[in-house]
Amino acid sequence: MYHYSRAIFRALKDMVEPQTDSVTPEEARRQLLEACERTVERIAEDPRYFARPARSLFEEIRFYFPITQQARVYFVVDRAIGLALTSVRAEQARRTEALNRCRATTRKGAPCQRQPLPGTAHCPSHQHLAERPVRVAATAAA
């Protein structure tokens, strides 16, 4: 996921011109990179509860750019964050799909495509493969 934050940083680092004298351009670039990484990390960790990540990142970094470049900055941020969100959603769909399949394989060695029974890892056809708890026979006391 870091390639998205690095792509944003590489696209924007040469346009950095802090509007205040208290922040040097080097410090502004460092803060830009940290903000990009924080945003992408948050997208990767919890994309459902991060409303408008592109807008959030832009609001955090826009002070490092002149007003004439802010439309371009927003375009770069919006494009990269959109790609990151698409990637995360595709990965989530792939994981969900893998979890909703039977864990057994067919006679030909292909993964079973059926849905597992609720609370189990196997479909009805492969239920015999599910691990069952071992019963210990009680010995009669003599």
Give the three-state DSSP class for 111.
Answer: strand
pLDDT tens, position by position, 107-124: 888 888 888 877 777 888
Contact 61, 78 (CB under 8 A): no
Q: Is the model more confident about 56 or about 20?
A: 56
Indicate if the pLDDT at residue 142 is higher than 60: no
Give the residue extent of every domain in the chain: 2-99
Report if pTM > 0.85: no
**How far is Cα 100 from Cα 114, in angstroms, rounded to an integer?**
8
Q: Please determine, for residue 141, whether its predicted confidence score (pLDDT) is greater than 60.
A: no
